[in-house]
Amino acid sequence: MAWTTISKSIEQWGTIPHLHDYEAVRSHFSWEQARLDLEGLPHGQGLNIAHEAVVRHAKGARAAHLAIRWLGKSGTVEDYSYGRLNELTNRFANVLHRLGVSTGDRVFVLAGRIPELYIAALGTLKNRSVFCPLFSAFGPEPIRARLTIGQAKVLVTTSTLYQRKVAAIRSAIPSLEQVLIIGEDRQPTAINGTQDLGVLMQQASPEFMIGPTNPEDMALLHFTSGTTGTPKGAVHVHQAVVAHHMTGKYALDFHQDDRFWCTADPGWVTGTSYGIIAPLTNGITSIVDEAEFDAERWYRTLQDQQISIWYTAPTAIRMMMKSGADLVRKYDLRRLRFLASVGEPLNPEAVLWGREAFGHPFHDNWWQTETGGIMIANYAAMDIRPGSMGRPLPGIEAAVARRTDSGVEIVEEPNAQGELALRAAWPSMFRGYWNEPERYHKCFVGGWYLTGDLAKRDEDGYFWFVGRADDVIKTSGHLIGPFEVESVLIEHKAVAEAGVIGKPDPVAMEVVKAFVSLKDGYIPSDELRRELLGFARARLGAVVAPKEITFLPTLPKTRSGKIMRRLLKARELGLPEGDTSTLEAVS
Ligand code: AMP
């Protein structure tokens, strides 16, 4: 394999990275030792994420230190010290407690990046309930599906999102006992069947004692998508905090005085593990921006907030590249010292563009909802091979594997392709798919967790992403299950069959594209296409809905009737069709 290498010297590091000697740390590493970096609940009562993220700092020397600075869309700035965050999250935990919400109950939050989301997440963990984030751009259908599968007991949302997306589906979710509303501009709101969160918070006590928490108690439920079936709820436990904390140090190189900005939305796993938990357990300052992507706003934020570590995503980097490096140079970004990226393949040009525009390359890292934390990374101290995801974290054994009839075979030969596998287990490994033990067990073969990604490992142990082994779609960093989209399309009266693929896109990596065949009596037209696009968008939300629809007389299917998305994709891209021996004969 040919690659360029970006070598680093001690002078370029600025701060000595925690992982400056990868081999040495890796060879001595143990998760038991890593756990000792955390405090644990008093009197040996276990391990709780919120204690590590908030309480231990609030009770110690960092009580007055800035934990979260929130930048509102329209210019408001709110500061939350560790002490204040502790008090507010205590209040939220008391709100839940008073409402009879107990250990293990699922508390969903559907909100943009507003302070209440962060307070609800951490307060839920204090109450030993389960925090389940929902992406605020989802339409009513993905929201309904996730609330139903996760058997939501509580939903925290804004008055606007409730009225637009939840009110009409509420009766379809019988488990949902409480809806707590954040009013417009935090003004008290009276909506039938809901309670005003602001009022409840005022009435609640600012004192709360976290109860005994078993490290294996469920803490987080993150929904993700597969090729088939409904969305899957990946279960994470309190013990995951050991990995959040350690990867914050080793993969993102958090040091005490850092100001960190994770641009991911907490509706997805990165925005929770690294947008909420890891910076707080490490006691640093996290910047949260409510606004959506805008290159100039982002550069101004990096400058004005004196960001030193920045964790973002390839789609955003590609959008910045479009507006050019000259724009970046108008800003004083001297404090910036480490740039990282996750979520999709990061093209080598983007890594190098980071160096040209910001003076530092982007450091790609790899992980997924199921792994709970970063597994493979380009560390601050290491020589980067642009295009590679880097090397496994200390404590993580990664390999390229092939499924065989009897189990799994590890591919030792360098640069050979196979499925990326991780040796089970590590603290943030998912402990199940909620209520779907079979789907969970299928992911593990011979002691390895098989990730569903195809990868290669080179002679020096760097991992290179090849593609997905399944049909899930990555669009602007969001993982979309084709089945969820197809299911909505076939609800339309004109649609007989739908097949959904990811169509390559230079910025978003892939866009959702649907192929549709119509029922008798319906004729393809631009008007019907627009109607279907609007129909899907209203139900699924803009991120999940298809951007393109092509009508076909019939869709290619296997003899057992499964739509062959692989073939649809090959035909769309003009690629060889591969093995079509299972293709149903079309009469
Ligand atoms: P999610 O579970 O939504 O976080 O998506 C995880 C998936 O995103 C992975 O299984 C990969 O397919 C993809 N992914 C994440 N990080 C990277 C990366 N650095 N390079 C390539 N693909 C990535």
Q: Whose CA is nearest to atom 4 of ligand 1?
A: 368
Share of the chain above pLDDT 90, in %: 91
pLDDT at site 583: 73
CA of residue 527 to ligand 1 center, whole Å: 36
538 shares a domain with 444: no
At 439 the three-state DSSP class reads: helix
Q: What is the pLDDT of residues 366-385, one digit of tens each?
A: 999 999 999 999 999 999 99
CA of residue 368 to ligand 1 center, whole Å: 5
Q: What is the pLDDT of residues 94-127, one digit of tens each?
A: 999 999 999 999 999 999 999 999 999 999 999 9
Atom of ligand 1 nearest to the CA of 465: 21
User: Where does a domain end: 397, 425, 457?
Assistant: 457
CA of residue 474 to ligand 1 center, whole Å: 8
pLDDT at site 577: 81
Q: Whose CA is nearest to atom 7 of ligand 1?
A: 368
pLDDT at site 84: 98
- Which pair of tokens denotes residue 130? 């389960």
201 shares a domain with 176: yes
Q: Please give the Cα distance from 101 to 104 (Å, whole number).
A: 9
**Confidence class for position 424, pLDDT limits 50, 70, 90:** very high
Neighbouring-strand partners of residue 77: 71
**Confidence class for position 587, pLDDT limits 50, 70, 90:** very low
Q: Region 251-268: what's the mean pLDDT?
A: 97
At 363 the three-state DSSP class reads: strand
244 shares a domain with 196: yes
Ligand 1 and 479: CB distance under 6 A: yes
Q: Please give the Cα distance from 422 to 444 (Å, whole number).
A: 9
Ligand 1 and 371: CB distance under 6 A: no
395 shares a domain with 524: no
Ligand 1 and 342: CB distance under 6 A: yes
Residue 224 domain flag: yes
221 shares a domain with 166: yes
Q: What's the total number of domains in the chain?
A: 2
Q: Region 551-578: what's the mean pLDDT?
A: 90
User: Where does a domain end: 418, 433, 457?
Assistant: 457
The full DSSP string for 304-326 is HTT-SEEEE-HHHHHHHHHH-HH
Examine the pLDDT at 436 and tell me if it is beyond 70.
Answer: yes
Q: Please give the Cα distance from 236 to 224 (Å, whole number).
A: 13
Q: Which residue has the tokens 């929770």?
A: 272
Atom of ligand 1 nearest to the CA of 468: 12
Q: What is the pLDDT of residues 8-21, one digit of tens each?
A: 766 666 689 999 99
Domain of residue 88 covers: 10-24+31-457
pLDDT at site 565: 93
505 shares a domain with 426: no
Q: What is the pTM of this model?
A: 0.95
Q: Region 409-427: what's the mean pLDDT?
A: 97
Q: Please give the Cα distance from 263 to 341 (Å, whole number).
A: 10
What are the residues whose beta carbons fall under 8 Å from the beta carbon of 9, sequence distance 6 or more?
Answer: none
Answer yes or no: are the C-beta atoms of 94 and 269 closer than 8 Å: no
The torsion defined by the Cα of 234, 510, 416 and 429, in degrees rounded to 10, comes to: -10
Examine the pLDDT at 530 and tell me if it is beyond 80.
Answer: yes
Ligand 1 and 387: CB distance under 6 A: no
CA of residue 343 to ligand 1 center, whole Å: 4
